[in-house]
Amino acid sequence: MISGAFLLLGGWFLRIMWDTLLNLQSQDRELADKVARIEVLVAGEYVKKEDFDRVIERLFDKLDHIELKIDSKADK
C-alpha cells in the first residue's frame, strides 16, 4: 500500500517535471526565433557605404564653401 503511494507520487512528480521540460523547450525555441528576427532587423539598419560617401562628400563641399567665405572675409 505504501509503496503504491510512493509510486503514485513519483509518477506524478516525473509527469510534472516532463511537462515543465517540454514547456521550457517550447519557450527556448520561441526566444531563439525572436533573437534571429532581431539580428536580421539590426543588420538591415546599417548605413550603406554609398549613402555614407554621398553625405560625407556634401559635408566637405559645405565646409569648403564656409572656408572660402572665411578667407574672403579675412582678405577685406
d(CA 70, CA 57) in angstroms, rounded, equals 20
- Ordered by start, the domain boundaries in the chain are 1-45, 47-76
Report which of residues 27 and 45 the model is more confident about.
27
Confidence (pLDDT) at 11:
93
Residue in the structure block whose three cell numbers are 512528480: 13
Higher pLDDT, 14 or 5: 14
Q: Which whole number is the average pLDDT over 19-47?
A: 87
Helices and strands: H and E segment counts in the chain: 2, 0
How would residue 76 be classed by pLDDT, with cut points 50, 70 and 90? Answer: low
The C-alpha cell of 4 is what?
Answer: 503504491
